[in-house]
Structures are given as structure tokens and as C-alpha cells.
Amino acid sequence: MELAGEEDAFAAREAATAASDVSVVAPGLAVADAVDPSRVRGLAYTRRALALLGRIDADVAAARALVESADLDPEGVGVGAGEDRPTVAVRARVVRDSADASTGEAERECGAALVARGFAVDLDDPDLVLRVLFAGGVCLVGWVVAESVRDFSTRKPTDRPFFQPGSMAPMDARAYANLAGAGPGSRILDPMCGTGGVLIEAGLVGSEVLGNDAQAKMARGARGNLAHYLDDGFAVIRGDATELGVRDDAADGAVFDAPYGRQSKIARHELADLVAGALSEAARVAPRGVLIADRSWRTEAEDAGWSVTDSFERRVHRSLVRHVLVLERE
């Protein structure tokens, strides 16, 4: 799996929503089992998934030798034989300048090895693409079997019908929605939905979504934003995140971005009481959750009945670090 961004542990955790046994093996690269290509298309911090031919040292000659000798159809990619073989192209990359290898040479050498094995090269519109990825001391070689849809720039918060400063970037919102279990057949709740950014991303990967916000302005605005991006499958209500008007287990996942510490009071709640109450209500409503905040809130999450399965500190800018807790109900 070819990761995006600079935080490999976080990217791998999101990738684990589309695969099993995800393990980072080099900067920007991970290996995994049982990859679901349809889920890969909705990932934020994975660019591509490959059917791996092999892992060798970060050396062009070694990469060519692998292509010359490997089983070229390791997972039923469909390389065919003879005249039935698809056209191919080789794309090489050095990840984050972490290896000393010539991508041009790698593409020529591995392309020549494929031609020698009966493939025709089409650099403009190939049926299959072979990726040769150099990172650290390793090289991974494999066929591209899935790519994520990287259209986040088309949904900038400032371009939405309703915008408020501080709205989360769509790429991050997608990742948090995925961690909460977004996907076809799921229902995702955001009890402090703000302008609805997380719910938009959850809806775009197939979830039904339910938003809640204490402010009427926010609830109306989020409803308008969701209607702009989604055809159906959404609802937004005005309510208190500590007393949600929904039944037990109404959602498959809950995700929310807690108010920051500089806001000492939110509506009628002290911040700590608000977050603790929202965590408790989320545990009543959903079996998994994701909390994003400017501090950990781990103790409050555990007191509310959650187990913290993963935690991350993600720097947004010099003065803000987002703490992310991935939660499972005990």
C-alpha cells in the first residue's frame, strides 16, 4: 500500500479499515493482507494498493531481476498469456527522497523485462500499471489494483454553501470517518457536527449520516451542506450532545471534533462536562468512536465506557496539535 502524507502510523491505521495485518515496512509504504479494492478507493491517506510481486533491496538491478523471475499474476490480477496479455506501463518512484535510485532507469529496465516476458508497453493508456517503489533500503514492486479517489480539493470548506472558520480539511474528515467505520451499509453519527464536514465525507463513501449540533445556525448550515453534496441518507437535528434524542445503538460509529480548550463554556456546559457527557452518550449510541480534540481526553473516554485502541498526535500547525482517540465500546 502506497501511503499519503507524512504520518505513516496514522495512515496505516486508516488503511486497516480496508485491509488486514497492515504493517509499515519503509517510509510511505506498507504491506497488508485481504485488501478490499472498493474500500481503498475511499481512503484519504492511502494512494494506491498493489498486488505485490516482491520486496527486494532498493536497487534497480534487483528490481529488474525480480520482474524477470516473479510470478506476474500473484493475486489473479489477470495478466493473461500470449496475445491475450494486457498492455502495461512501469511507473517508478522514490518515496520522500529516502532512497538513492534512478526512477527513469528503473522504468526502462523493468519495462524491458516485461517486454521480454511477452507484454506490450503502452505509456499513454495501459491496461495495467507496474509500480516500482524505492523507500529507505527496500523496493516494492507490484501491479496497481486500486487507487483512492483524490478529489478532496473540490470540497474546500470555503466553497460550501455554509462555512465557518476552523472547519476541518476534507482529507482529514474522510480519514476520521473511515476510522469510525464509514462505508456502505453503515450509519455514522456526529454529535457535534458543526458545518457537517465529517458527515459529508462519510456520506460520500456510502454511509447514512446523522448530525447533531446545539446551535440552530450550525444545524441548519450542516443540513444545507449535506444536501449540496449528498442526494439522500442524511439528517441533522438540533440538540444537546450529552442528551441525544436517539435510541441505543442507533449508529455503527460516532465521530466528533470536540471544542478546543480556549472555549471555557459551551452553551450551558463546562467544556470537561460537555466532552465527558458526549463521550458517554456516544457509547450508548454506537459501538465504536473517534474523538478529535486539542487534548487527549483519554481518562474521560475510559470513564465513559470506551477502550482506547489507538491514539495519535497530529500537528496541524505550530500552535495546534490534534489528539485523535480511536475507541471501541467495552
Q: What is the pTM of this model?
A: 0.95
> Starting from the edge strand earliest in sequence, which strands make up the sheet with 88-94, in order?
20-26, 29-33, 2-3, 46-57, 138-147, 128-135, 88-94
Same domain assignment for residues 185 and 323: yes
CATH number at residue 132: 3.30.2130.30
Both 138 and 156 in a single domain?
no
Q: Could you tell me if 225 and 137 lie in one domain?
A: no
What's phi and psi for 23, nearest 5 deg? -140, 125
Of 147, 180, 202, which residue sits at a domain end? 147
Among candidate residues 113, 147, 181, the one where a domain is terminated: 147
pLDDT value for 266:
55
Whether residues 304 and 321 share a domain: the answer is: yes
CATH (domain of 233): 3.40.50.150
State the angle between helix axes of 8-15 and 170-179 in degrees (0 to 180), rounded to the nearest 10. Answer: 50
- Grid coordinates representing 175 are 480519514
Domain that holds residue 75: 2-147
184 vs 206: CA distance, rounded Å? 4
- Tell me, what's the pLDDT at 172? 98
In this structure, the answer to whether residues 244 and 143 fall within a common structural domain is no
113 with 166, same domain? no
The confidence score (pLDDT) of residue 223 equals 98
State the pLDDT at residue 268.
Answer: 55
> Domain check: are 284 and 217 in the same one?
yes
Q: Which among 53, 327, 48, 300 has a CA at the least distance from the CA of 179?
A: 327
Residue 139 and residue 87 in one domain: yes
Q: Specify whether 142 is located in the same domain as 210.
A: no
Same domain, 156 and 276: yes
Pick from 145, 153, 142, 104: which is nearest to 127 by CA?
A: 145
Domain count, the chain: 2
> 66 and 12 in one domain?
yes
Same domain, 136 and 24: yes
* Tally of CA atoms within 13 A in the half-sphere of 165 that contains its CB: 0
Could you report the per-residue pLDDT of 54-110, keeping only the tens digit for each?
Answer: 999 999 999 999 999 999 999 889 998 888 899 999 999 999 999 999 999 999 999
Straight-line distance from the first to the last Cα atom of the chain, in angstroms, rounded to the nearest whole number? 31
Residue where a domain stops, chosen among 95, 118, 147: 147
Low-confidence ranges of the chain (pLDDT < 50): 263-265
Contacts of 125 (CB under 8 A, 6+ apart): 87
